[in-house]
Amino acid sequence: AYGTKEESAVRPIGRYPVPNKKDMPYDIVELMEEVERKAGFLPNIFKVMCHRPAEFRAFFAYYNVIMKKDTGRLSKADKELIIVATSAENRCPYCVTAHAAFHRIYSQQPARADQVIVNWKKADLSDRDLAMLEFALAVCRADNITEEHFQKLERHGFDREDAWDIGMISAFFAMSNRIAHFIDLHPNEEFYRMGREKGEA
């Protein structure tokens, strides 16, 4: 099974049952084992989403397309920062906690995600990063997006393809945050500690 012992003793990781490994389709087990091997633990989103194998496949396929896309001007840390800022707006415990951890790892800036969670406008960010988050949060709030939004991005070096990338990540996590809310998905304890010191990989 996929609930870690410590957690399952305390409370479930979400509102829906976590299937046993032996009942899951082979391709899903394989993907989960690979993730667990690399990360050292299996993020809870994998455990709950396999309640619906077809949706599991669709969700992670989409995630990989936008997060592992390697063209454009968004670094891995940029993408995580977008997720942290928009998920904080939606007050999503799982996504904020997991992606703040990823941001700490990728950016090697242990305090930046914490700052963004409290008040992104006052975080120690470059004007470029503030412009990126401003666009991401306008998409997050389902604002009307106008030419002015794109032009502001362009003044900080992002072209229309980058705008699409920022908007798509914000939109995808608008979905993820809401899924996490109705599943009542809890973050793995590991996330809170990851990347708190510079140099941690």
Residues in touch with a second copy (CB under 8 A): 15-16, 51-52, 54-55, 57-59, 61-62, 65-66, 69, 88, 90-93, 96-97, 110-111, 114-115, 117-119, 121-123, 139-140, 142-145, 150, 160, 163-164, 167-168, 170-172, 174-179, 181-184, 189, 192-193, 196-197
- Smallest distance, a second copy to C-beta of residue 33, A: 23
Residue placing its CB nearer to a second copy in the complex, 97 or 107: 97
The whole-angstrom separation of Cα 62 and Cα 29 is 18
The contacts of residue 26 (CB under 8 Å, 6+ apart) are none
The count of other CB atoms within 10 Å of the CB of residue 131 is 20
Which CB atom, from 10 or from 37, has the smaller least distance to a second copy?
Answer: 10
CA distance 81 to 129: 9
Please state the closest distance from residue 16 (CB atom) to a second copy, in A. 7
Amino acid at residue number 186: H
User: What is the token pair recorded at 125?
Assistant: 């960010």
Give the residue with the Cβ less far from a second copy, 20 or 144: 144
**Closest approach of Cβ 38 to a second copy, in Å?**
22
Residue placing its CB nearer to a second copy in the complex, 132 or 140: 140
Question: CA distances (Å), 2 to each of 19, 60, 107, 123, 157, in order?
Answer: 8, 18, 29, 37, 43
